[in-house]
Amino acid sequence: MESILIKDTSREERERIVAQSLGITEGYCDGCMAGLADMYQDYIDGKREIKEINMSFKARYESGSEGPEKMDCGYVR
């Protein structure tokens, strides 16, 4: 397996890695992955590794810090 680290890839290779990982292929994307692809823009730009992005996403998800507050009768934003 080839390295996917920023230091070992070009911007074009990182774009291809993200697209292939998310299942985005030419002529098949209906825009549903746009938000998810945006999450990896720092990797494409060479700012943060994929591992760092995934870890920060997981930490926010587990903490619930960005989710709705739960009240007695349901969820409230």
Q: Domains of the chain: which residue ranges?
A: 6-63
Q: Is 50 exposed, middle or buried (0-12, 13-18, 19+ CB in 10 A)?
A: middle
pTM of the model: 0.63
Element (H, E) at 75: strand 74-76
Percent of the chain with pLDDT strictly greater than 90: 38
Percent of the chain with pLDDT strictly greater than 70: 57
**Residue 6 main-chain phi, psi, to 5 deg:** -55, -45
pLDDT of residue 8: 97
Side-chain half-sphere of 64: how many Cα atoms within 13 Å? 5
